[in-house]
Structure 1
Amino acid sequence: MDRLTEMEAFAMVIDQGGFTDAAKRMGISKSAVSKHVSSLEARLGARLINRTTRRVSPTEIGLAYYDRARRVLNDAGEADALVTAMQSGPSGLLRISVATDFGVNHLGPVLNDFLMQFPDVSVNMELSNRYVELISEGFDLAVRIGETHDTSLRSRKLTETTKRMIASPAYFQKFGRPQKIDDLNTHKLLHYSGQASDAVWNVTAPSGERRQVRTSGWLSVNDGHSLLNACIAGLGIAYLPSFLYAEAMEQGLVEDAIPDLPANTQAIYAVSPQGRFTQPKVRAFVDFLVQTFSGKVPVDG
């Protein structure tokens, strides 16, 4: 008999708690299910199921075998689904996690174009600056800013942005302009409040030395656009990515706080679980992001 069919019959008996219900689920006779299970036990030389007139239960060996058998059957089912998916177009629900500022300012406005191109795909987008666990939290994809070091993820670079310290002309008129990194200690610094690490700025000195600046000021908030508005209002200096400040800088609403400092360049990536089959909906979305953002997001203000 077919080994996989024997395994499926055994697992179905355990799942359904009996031969009758297992036969109904498999669409075969009760005697056929019993024959498959008996053949499996004979081949393995072990009793896998305790049979009584009232109930069916796995033996200790049967329970251990069931755990492995169920994994094999699930993998086989996924393999079948993989082939089906490879022959079909992008479809189904796509769950994505996106850094809030990038999602609001750049990804959200172009989602309509993607959905028009792929009408069989629906998108559930979570805007969050927290580091989500893609597999355990059920996400297909995440868009992240900065280098990715997680080897369990497949990453594809979308574009680059830069971070600079900015403030309004009104702020500089009132508090003066810092000339070097150490001068920041006497200024009003605005920062993200999402994580403890957000209260520390990693900046590069003209010499190339990496420096850390601990921030303190009148405002901390977990939204980059709110920090930009605070800068424009003259509340302090913020350290923001260019895709947030570029337009405001072009309009003269904010200026580079220390122009002599090198900009901190950051890559923006689409990441998805490594080692998994890339579903058509995921592949289509990543290709769309690359086409949409490659060279189009401001790399500097």
Structure 2
Amino acid sequence: MSYLESLRVFVRVIELGSITAGGRDLRLSPAVASNRIKDLENRFGLRLLNRTTRRLTPTEIGRAFYDHARRVIDTLDEAEALVSSYSGKPQGVIRLTAPLGLGRRLIAPLIPRFCDDNPGVEIRLRLSDRSVNIVEDAIDLAFFLGEPADSALKWRKIADCPRVLVAAPSYLEARGRPASLEDLAAHDCLLLRYPRSPEYYWVLETEDGPRKMMVSGRFDTDDGDVLRDWALAGHGIANRPRYEVEAELASGALEVVLPAHPPVTAQFGCLTPHRRLQDPKVRMFADFALRELRPRF
């Protein structure tokens, strides 16, 4: 493995916080990734990382070296992007992230088609309903539901994404159908939560504008598909994107709850670090996703 490839391993290990995670991201075994770090340390005769059984942190010189190595890799990636823009044949890796349900249903099916048309491109898709630090995790393109707030990122809207409150008929027959927003307090609301998540609330439409409703329930999870499955099984009321439960609503397996007060419509789009948007392959995938996904909403 070349010195440059060892630099890539070192950078990803620092960014992801472990040799195992850094190696996995580059499709290397932990042993190979560890050897690449040792090669760098032997080259300089300096320790770049402090290793304990619980944590891996850069030394002072390791942190300084990371800053320079990151710039070297960014410069190389920009040079490759420039060559690709002239050749018309995109090359290299695109790192994507998306929420679990959205990623499975909408983003994952696009990837084989895009790669068939662009055989020089590799795509690495990471799915999670937890928040992701796009810059620190070196993400090229993040698909997103909600209201983007980070001005350091470029936002491209794909479509408005209506949301609905849904529950199984069996649950509503047993517990009653809410007639007002206040009735939600007497119901089991199925919550999308994760460690260190803020207090939980739903923002619902009213005649006077959006209203924040504090809700609670016995179950919570960090996987939106689990919420849908719990709703289907009759365990409570879930707040889901409409596209995700369209088939269940059509079949009668789920019903819309409080149709006069739907959750506030979310924006569906993609976020990109500004410098990544200059990469033709990233821009091409974003354009491709917009063309393919807009008609679905």
For residues 189 and 174 of structure 2, the distance between their equivalents in structure 1, rounded to whole angstroms, comes to 14
From the superposition, tell whether residues 276 and 231 of structure 1 become closer, same or farther in structure 2 (CA, over 3 Å): closer
Query: In the alignment, which residue of structure 2 is the partner of 1:245?
Result: 245
What does 1:177-188 correspond to in 2, within 5 Å? 177-188=177-188
**Per the alignment, in what secondary structure is the counterpart of residue 234 of structure 2?**
coil
Q: CA-to-partner distance for each residue in 1:153-178, whole Å, 9 max, x for gaps? A: 11111122111111011111111000
Q: What displacement does 1:136 show?
A: 2.0
What does 1:226-237 correspond to in 2, within 5 Å? 226-237=226-237
Query: In the alignment, which residue of structure 1 is the partner of 2:26?
Result: none
TM-score w.r.t. structure 1 length?
0.69
From the superposition, tell whether residues 87 and 187 of structure 1 become closer, same or farther in structure 2 (CA, over 3 Å): same
- Structure 1 gaps of 5+ residues are 1-66
Equivalent pair of 2:155/2:271 in contact (CA under 8 Å): yes
What does 1:1-301 correspond to in 2, within 5 Å? 80-88=79-87, 89-195=89-195, 196-197=197-198, 199-217=200-218, 219-276=219-276, 278-297=278-297
**Per the alignment, in what secondary structure is the counterpart of residue 253 of structure 2?**
coil
For residues 226 and 213 of structure 1, the distance between their equivalents in structure 2, rounded to whole angstroms, comes to 21
- One-letter amino acid of the counterpart of residue 86, structure 2: Q
Equivalent pair of 1:206/1:262 in contact (CA under 8 Å): no
For residues 260 and 76 of structure 1, the distance between their equivalents in structure 2, rounded to whole angstroms, comes to 53
Q: CA-to-partner distance for each residue in 1:135-194, whole Å, 9 max, x for gaps? A: 321211111111212111111111221111110111111110000111000111111122
- Which is greater in Rg? 1
- How many residues are matched? 227
Query: In the alignment, which residue of structure 2 is the partner of 1:44?
Result: none
From the superposition, tell whether residues 215 and 109 of structure 1 become closer, same or farther in structure 2 (CA, over 3 Å): same
**Per the alignment, in what secondary structure is the counterpart of residue 183 of structure 1?**
helix
For residues 220 and 247 of structure 2, the distance between their equivalents in structure 1, rounded to whole angstroms, comes to 22
Q: What displacement does 1:197 show?
A: 3.1
For residues 111 and 189 of structure 1, the distance between their equivalents in structure 2, rounded to whole angstroms, comes to 34
For residues 75 and 142 of structure 2, the distance between their equivalents in structure 1, rounded to whole angstroms, comes to 27
Q: What displacement does 1:253 show?
A: 0.7
For residues 76 and 166 of structure 1, the distance between their equivalents in structure 2, rounded to whole angstroms, comes to 49
- One-letter amino acid of the counterpart of residue 285, structure 1: F
**Per the alignment, in what secondary structure is the counterpart of residue 285 of structure 1?**
helix
Q: What displacement does 1:262 show?
A: 3.9
Equivalent pair of 1:224/1:244 in contact (CA under 8 Å): no
- Structure 2 gaps of 5+ residues are 1-64
From the superposition, tell whether residues 76 and 254 of structure 1 become closer, same or farther in structure 2 (CA, over 3 Å): closer
Query: In the alignment, which residue of structure 1 is the partner of 2:47?
Result: none
Q: What displacement does 1:198 show?
A: 6.7
For residues 138 and 160 of structure 1, the distance between their equivalents in structure 2, rounded to whole angstroms, comes to 27
For residues 80 and 224 of structure 1, the distance between their equivalents in structure 2, rounded to whole angstroms, comes to 39
Q: What displacement does 1:261 show?
A: 1.1
From the superposition, tell whether residues 198 and 285 of structure 1 become closer, same or farther in structure 2 (CA, over 3 Å): farther
Q: Give aligned-pair identity as a percent.
A: 26
From the superposition, tell whether residues 164 and 79 of structure 1 become closer, same or farther in structure 2 (CA, over 3 Å): closer
